[in-house]
Amino acid sequence: MKTDVDFGCAVRGSESVTMYRGMNPAFVQRVWAKRRRAAAKPHMLKIVKSAKPDAKEQEIQIVVPDVYETAENAVNIGFETVKQAREIVAGLYGIPVDQLNAKTRQHRIFKARHAAICAVKLRWPEASLPFIAKFFDIDHTTVMYALKQHGIDTANNQAAA
């Protein structure tokens, strides 16, 4: 709904100043169009070919492996250094190793980063959060968040030992 507003200033000619009450409809249309496009994009990438040979459309889905399972697989494969753990997890996710340190929030990359962090913590439960964070160029609270998200205990039970 548009309303005329008098700001008490001279306006050139006979122009009137109009303002929207609430949200600008053009802005709302752009936002909802962007949301519809984002919803239409698949979040998982996997090319599924149709059984029909003349089918023109292919369904695309991205399959991101589960973080905890990938971390367990990496531990089962075996690694002796954090660098080896990063290489194994990057291979399981099919991304370059240098992407694990990238400052990006892409789904596939941060899941791989979380899997590598979880694999290191599963392999060495006594490893401190700042120690793990140093290898990924992140803050120790980010490591704590990744471990908490995937159900790995971050408490060092040194008093019980």
Query: In this structure, what token pair is assigned to residue 79?
Result: 């690694």
CA geometry: angle at 122 spanning 108 and 69, to 5°? 45
Answer whether 68's CB lies under 8 Å from 118's CB: yes
Instruction: Identify the CATH assignment for 67-149 out of 2.60.120.1060, 3.30.70.980, 1.10.1750.10, 3.10.350.10.
Output: 1.10.1750.10
Give the pLDDT score at 34: 84
- Is residue 107 predicted with pLDDT exceeding 90? no
- The arithmetic mean of pLDDT across residues 94-99, rounded, is 92
- Report how far residue 52's alpha carbon sits from residue 39's, in angstroms, rounded to the nearest whole number: 27
Q: What is the mean pLDDT of the chain?
A: 78
Q: Which residue has the higher pLDDT, 15 or 153?
A: 153
Closest CA to 83 of 116, 126, 124, 127: 116
* CA dist 138 → 68, 120, 141 (Å): 20, 15, 8
Count of CA atoms in the C-beta half-sphere (13 A) of 107: 9
Q: Sorting pLDDT into bands at 50, 70 and 90, what band is 47?
A: very low
Residues forming beta bridges with residue 4, ordered by sequence position: 18
Closest CA to 120 of 84, 148, 94, 90: 84
Give the pLDDT score at 39: 74
Model confidence pLDDT, tens digit, residues 58-87? 555 556 778 899 999 999 999 999 999 999
- Is residue 159 predicted with pLDDT exceeding 50? no
Model confidence pLDDT, tens digit, residues 108-144? 899 999 999 999 999 999 999 999 999 999 999 999 9
How is the chain split into domains, by residue range? Answer: 2-60, 67-149
- Total residues belonging to the chain: 161
- Report how far residue 108's alpha carbon sits from residue 115's, in angstroms, rounded to the nearest whole number: 11
Give the pLDDT score at 156: 60
Give the pLDDT score at 44: 45
